[in-house]
Structure 1
Amino acid sequence: MTFPAGFVWGVSTAAYQIEGGGEAGGGGGRGSVWDLFSWARGVPGGEAASGHEGLWPRDLDLLRDLGVGAYRFSVAWSRVQPGGRGRASVPGLAFYDRLTDELLGRGVQPWAALHHWDLPQALQDAGGWLARDTAYRFEEYASLVGERLADRAAAFVTLTDPFTVTAQGHVLGTHAPGLRLGLDAFPAAHHQLLAHGLAVRALREAGARQVGLANGYAPAWPATDRDERAATLMSTLRGDLFTDPLLRGEYPATLLNLLSERAPQVLEAVQAGDHAVMAAPLDFLGVHYTQPDWVRASSGTLLGLEVGHVPDRERTASGAAVVPEGLTQTLTGLKARYGDTCPPLIVTVGSAGAADTDIPDDGGRVRDDARIRYLDRHLEAASDALTQGAPVRGVFVHSLLDGFEWNAGYSLRTGLVHVDSGTLERTPRSSFRWLRDRLRTQG
């Protein structure tokens, strides 16, 4: 594998997955949309998570020991603005201010993500991402965080994977807020992209050095020759819908035609001037990847398509198919589609794809050879894309720690570091040591 000088090597976490609900106003139990969603399903939410809110110095020492150059953490909106509007919580924002300083003190670049799926419940009660006002509340929130961190943060990520927020949160109902709206979910996508554009403006005014958005991308592979049209539609919904407005200043024609025919009322969400806001220049585009979409045409399903896993491939504990060449295709495909307008690509190797259920052995060691193979093959895939001309400029491994795994609760363990759910003791896995050695070799 060959990576250029200045390549960003990092790991990442999400606030709701690891922080817990401590006295300083943690994400879990403090008014996140995931609290209510989890409680309604009768499962624990992020109240405990990984205890990062109280153990963060230990976790930052792990970062230093790992040898990464960057750490992408998310800021919990419900921690900074518990009601989703108004003045910032002093202890909530101070937590991230201190975290930023301590990262720099350990020689690690802070990359701050403003939204990783944890919308304040108060805003959800007022309509959530279906309401246009939420975009303006996000601009206000971005301004508060930018004013506090922009002088030191290396980069800001406005939104993390708006496709999943839309598809699983508002179409399928498997993620918070648990809505099943079909095509009526389009305003949730549009308002997220509008919020992104507004946040870019607010962050740049605060002095941010780099600003980008990260989405969950995957190639759409037709199951048979008869499924080509269904695969094309899936590709539009996952990628083009969330990227064309940013890099081309317009929604894809395939999407607009579909909505005009089947749900014309949702297009009223788009107002004059929105495209100019959404197309604010990006310094990078984040690419979250797990596996390709295996697509079949199906007349009995929403939009006439059925999405599954690539058959006859190794599976992880999460059920995902291990298909590293899909990452290469995703990265080269973005470059092919957007050409010179394609910004630098920052890849996140999704830990859901490398999930494991391992526990320490009698000697306290945690082996996760499957994760090591997964990471090795996907780093090679990113290198292949770079060789083929894709502007790959960094890789983040998600996640540093075990924690709350969204609709899977605590049944999956996805961290480079094992976290005992009872004692919160941290034990680096074999993959942690493997990545540390790889980074030292890379230099």
Structure 2
Amino acid sequence: MLMKTNESMTLTRADFPQDFVWGVATSAYQIEGAVQEGGRGPSVWDVFCQKPGVIADASDGSRACEHYQRWESDVDLIASLGVNAYRFSVSWPRVQPLGEGAWNEAGFAFYDRLLSRLEALGIEAHLTLNHWDLPQALQEKGGWESRETCEHFVRYALEISRRFGSRVKSLCTHNEPWVIAVLGHEHGVFAPGIKSRRAAIQVAHHLLLSHGMALKAMREAGVKAALGIVLNLSPIYPASSSAADVAKARLDDGLNARWYLDPLFFGRYPADVMAHLGNDAPVVQAADMAMIAQPLDFLGVNYYTRNFASSGNPWDVSSTGNQVTDMGWEVYPQGLTELLCRLHADYPVPSLWVTENGAAFKDTERDGVVDDPDRVAYLQRHIQAAWNAREKGVPVGAYFAWSLMDNFEWASGYAKRFGLVYVNYQTQQRTLKSSAHWYSGFLKA
């Protein structure tokens, strides 16, 4: 049950405006499989997964959820939930195997069929251009470290928008550029597995630059879909009241949040972070910052938990006393309200969308039933948190649960389950969890 703040009334869908967007989300590499079918080229994740020890269960996305074959029944399943929107990504190497040059019509035909089915069922399509699966051929030419990749991305964005721009409600350039930059190029735990802070910072700049270039080009081409970008953001608290921890929290917020937000909205990088980076600061050309700061129709926010910053030992999240998910992330819904309010106060955001929100728990299927009360409570509390932000005047316009179904969870392989729908990876049988039934009931009530 969701309880309205300071009231004894149950929060329902009717407490949100009629045009509020309710959806579920996925990404191409995590569900599609069929990595060698239909003319698709290899992505950086196909290659990364082949490295020993980088994926927890030594798996990959070659089969995933077989969505490439099962797309029609999967869309019917989405419709059965009562959502009015579906957020998904295009696999760049599926539609352009080399990331440049020839287009793959078989890849476009797959997404055309998907969009047609969504249209027939009255479900809005929210399309992401880059959810981490850069064509490997471009990586071999420098990947996101190369400024030339920005030009390739613009051509890709224009082709997708030319074909599908009138059929989708929104187009997102990049999903979580911090992940690509930091986890992929500084820590090396995600594709492409590079360990260099200088490379990571340059990658972050090129991702932001390509975003601005693509938005400008799509607008000039007359694209009517809402255009934006999605960031993974969390409030960052100092682990103690010490001056060192407070300073560390401010710097971490700069590296994780302001490094992306300030260029997008103010056309500049935060001065304190630039000073901290020193020789690792990015190479920025004269017109870059103005290009990055293209007007946004929406900012997508992916929220899962809050973070702590300590100048000493790593913070043990279990010491908060709050529940911890199977990912080791603290359940902290009030952090979503705080984050949305902060974004509204600090930046001129026209509309804020919660583009991912969910939790991994150790789900088991017994006789066709998957009971996941912890996920039900997680969804309830975070939808409440989004409503609380709206009550404070924040323009929250959408909520997408992550994720539609269990899938390939990147470096965690198939060990972590975020889905509202349970997937038996041997049989590919889909089973609605209790959380799916709850979300459907909430939406249909």
Task: Give me the TM-score of the superposition, normalised by structure 1.
Answer: 0.92
Could you say what secondary structure the match of 2:427 adopts?
Answer: coil
Q: Which residue of 1 aligns with 2:365?
A: 360
Superposition map of 1:391-430 within 5 A: 391-430=395-434
Q: Which runs of 4+ in 1 moved over 4 A?
A: 305-308
Give the deviation of 1:347 after TM superposition. Answer: 0.3
Give the deviation of 1:41 after TM superposition. Answer: 2.7
Give the deviation of 1:251 after TM superposition. Answer: 1.1
The answer to whether the 8 A contact 1:26-1:53 is kept is: no
Greater Cα shift, 173-182 or 420-429: 173-182
RMSD of aligned Cα (Å)? 1.6
Q: Deviations over 1:121-142 (max 9, x none)?
A: 1111111111111111110110
The answer to whether the 8 A contact 1:294-1:310 is kept is: no
Could you say what secondary structure the match of 2:310 adopts?
Answer: strand
Aligned: 1:231 with 2:249: yes
Q: Which residue of 2 aligns with 1:41?
A: 52
Structure 1 CA distance for aligned equivalents of residues 39 and 195 of structure 2: 29
Aligned: 1:219 with 2:235: yes
Aligned: 1:195 with 2:210: yes
The answer to whether the 8 A contact 2:39-2:97 is kept is: no
Q: Deviations over 1:295-338 (max 9, x none)?
A: 1014xxxxxx9566363220111111101111111100101111
Aligned: 1:313 with 2:331: no
Structure 1 CA distance for aligned equivalents of residues 342 and 65 of structure 2: 36
The answer to whether the 8 A contact 1:114-1:142 is kept is: yes
Q: Deviations over 1:135-188 (max 9, x none)?
A: 111101101111110111111011000111112111111111111112442100
Superposition map of 1:93-242 within 5 A: 93-204=108-219, 205-226=221-242, 227-242=245-260
The 1:178–1:159 alpha-carbon spacing in structure 2 relative to 1, beyond 3 Å, is same
What is the letter of the counterpart of residue 284 of structure 1?
F
Q: Which residue of 2 aligns with 1:272?
A: 286
Q: Deviations over 1:323-362 (max 9, x none)?
A: 1111111100101111xx22200003433xx11221210x
Structure 2 CA distance for aligned equivalents of residues 171 and 306 of structure 1: 19
The answer to whether the 8 A contact 1:24-1:92 is kept is: no
Structure 2 CA distance for aligned equivalents of residues 91 and 223 of structure 1: 52
Could you say what secondary structure the match of 1:40 adopts?
Answer: coil
Identity of aligned residues (%): 42
Task: Give me the TM-score of the superposition, normalised by structure 2.
Answer: 0.92
Structure 2 CA distance for aligned equivalents of residues 179 and 290 of structure 1: 25
Structure 2 CA distance for aligned equivalents of residues 123 and 83 of structure 1: 7
The answer to whether the 8 A contact 2:42-2:93 is kept is: yes
For structure 1, the 5+ residue unaligned runs are: 299-304
The 1:357–1:375 alpha-carbon spacing in structure 2 relative to 1, beyond 3 Å, is same
The answer to whether the 8 A contact 1:293-1:310 is kept is: no
Structure 1 CA distance for aligned equivalents of residues 258 and 124 of structure 2: 30
Q: Which residue of 1 aligns with 2:7?
A: none
Q: Deviations over 1:363-387 (max 9, x none)?
A: 2111111110111111111111111
Structure 2 CA distance for aligned equivalents of residues 400 and 59 of structure 1: 9
Structure 2 CA distance for aligned equivalents of residues 231 and 171 of structure 1: 19
Give the deviation of 1:23 after TM superposition. Answer: 6.2
Structure 2 CA distance for aligned equivalents of residues 41 and 94 of structure 1: 35
The 1:221–1:407 alpha-carbon spacing in structure 2 relative to 1, beyond 3 Å, is same
Q: Which residue of 2 aligns with 1:370?
A: 374
Structure 2 CA distance for aligned equivalents of residues 129 and 310 of structure 1: 36
Could you say what secondary structure the match of 1:168 adopts?
Answer: helix
For structure 2, the 5+ residue unaligned runs are: 1-10
Aligned: 1:56 with 2:71: yes
Give the deviation of 1:199 after TM superposition. Answer: 1.4
Aligned: 1:245 with 2:259: no
The 1:112–1:308 alpha-carbon spacing in structure 2 relative to 1, beyond 3 Å, is farther
What is the letter of the counterpart of residue 41 of structure 1?
P
The answer to whether the 8 A contact 2:302-2:354 is kept is: yes
The 1:113–1:82 alpha-carbon spacing in structure 2 relative to 1, beyond 3 Å, is same
Structure 2 CA distance for aligned equivalents of residues 19 and 188 of structure 1: 26
Aligned: 1:327 with 2:342: no
Could you say what secondary structure the match of 2:87 adopts?
Answer: strand
Q: Deviations over 1:188-227 (max 9, x none)?
A: 0000001111111232215232101000000111000120
Greater Cα shift, 36-45 or 78-87: 36-45
The 1:79–1:64 alpha-carbon spacing in structure 2 relative to 1, beyond 3 Å, is same
The answer to whether the 8 A contact 1:151-1:208 is kept is: yes
Structure 2 CA distance for aligned equivalents of residues 218 and 126 of structure 1: 33
Q: Deviations over 1:413-433 (max 9, x none)?
A: 111111111111111111111
